[in-house]
C-alpha cells in the first residue's frame, strides 16, 4: 500500500485515478488522509471522494460519526456524505442529525454542502422543513439539496419552493425541482415545466 502513494502525485490524471482506486481496494483507514491530500483537480476530487467514501462505507456507524465530529475538514466532509449513502434511506441516529445540523454553520463550504446533502435525504419531516429554508442560499449545491428536501417534504411551503426552483439559474437545481414537481404531481407548475 505504501508503495502506491507516490503514484498519486504523477502528472497524468488517469494514473492518479487508477492509483486512487487501487489504494481504495485495500479498504485501509490509514489511506484516507493521503488520498484526500492528493486531489489536485475536480476530476481527482471526484475520484478520491468516491474511493474514500467506499473505504468509510465498510466502517461502523460509530467510526463514521466520530469522523463527522473530528477536526479534519476533509474527513468530516467524506464521513457526512458516506453516512447518507450507508443508511440507505433509514433514519440516522439523533446524534448524527445533531452533528449534521451543527455543520450547517461550518466556515468550510465543502462541509456545509456535505451536511445539507446528507440532511436533505433524511426521512424526517422536521429535518426536511429546516433544510428547505436554504432554498435561497447563494450556493447552487446547497439550493439543490434544499429542493431535494422540498421534494420529500409534506410541508405546504414545499410546493412553492419547488415551483420557484424551476426558474433557478442552476440546471442541477432545476432538475431536482422537476423531480420533486413530478413526484408530487403539482398541477400549478405545469406552465413552468413546459417552459423548461
Distance from C-alpha of 92 to C-alpha of 98, rounded to nearest angstrom:
10
* High-pLDDT (> 70) share of the chain, %: 100
Given a cut of 90, whether residue 84 has pLDDT beyond it is: no
What does the DSSP 8-state code read for residue 39?
A: -
pLDDT-derived band at 1 (thresholds 50, 70, 90) equals: confident
* pTM for the model: 0.79
Predicted confidence at residue 79, as pLDDT, reads 93
For range 166-193, the mean pLDDT: 88
Given a cut of 90, whether residue 188 has pLDDT beyond it is: no
Predicted confidence at residue 172, as pLDDT, reads 96
CA angle 121, 180, 128 (to 5 degrees): 35
3-state secondary structure of 10: coil
Amino acid at each position: 500500500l505504501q508503495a502506491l502513494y507516490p503514484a498519486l502525485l504523477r502528472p497524468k490524471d488517469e494514473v492518479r485515478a487508477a492509483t486512487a482506486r487501487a489504494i481504495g481496494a485495500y479498504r485501509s483507514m490509514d489511506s484516507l488522509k493521503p488520498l484526500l491530500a492528493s486531489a489536485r483537480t475536480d476530476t481527482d476530487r471526484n475520484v478520491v471522494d468516491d474511493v474514500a467514501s467506499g473505504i468509510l462505507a465498510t466502517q461502523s456507524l460509530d467510526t463514521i460519526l466520530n469522523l463527522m465530529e473530528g477536526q479534519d475538514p476533509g474527513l468530516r466532509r467524506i464521513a457526512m456524505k458516506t453516512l447518507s449513502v450507508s443508511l440507505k434511506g433509514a433514519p440516522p441516529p439523533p446524534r448524527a442529525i445533531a452533528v449534521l445540523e451543527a455543520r450547517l454553520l461550518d466556515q468550510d463550504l465543502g462541509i456545509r454542502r456535505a451536511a445539507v446533502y446528507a440532511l436533505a435525504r433524511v426521512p424526517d419531516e422536521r429535518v426536511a422543513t429546516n433544510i428547505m429554508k436554504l432554498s435561497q442560499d447563494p450556493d447552487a449545491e446547497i439550493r439543490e439539496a434544499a429542493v431535494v428536501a422540498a421534494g420529500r417534504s409534506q410541508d405546504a411551503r414545499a410546493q412553492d419552493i419547488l415551483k420557484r426552483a424551476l426558474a433557478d439559474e442552476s440546471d442541477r437545481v432545476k432538475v431536482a425541482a422537476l423531480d420533486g414537481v413530478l413526484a408530487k404531481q403539482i398541477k400549478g407548475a405545469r406552465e413552468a415545466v413546459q417552459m423548461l
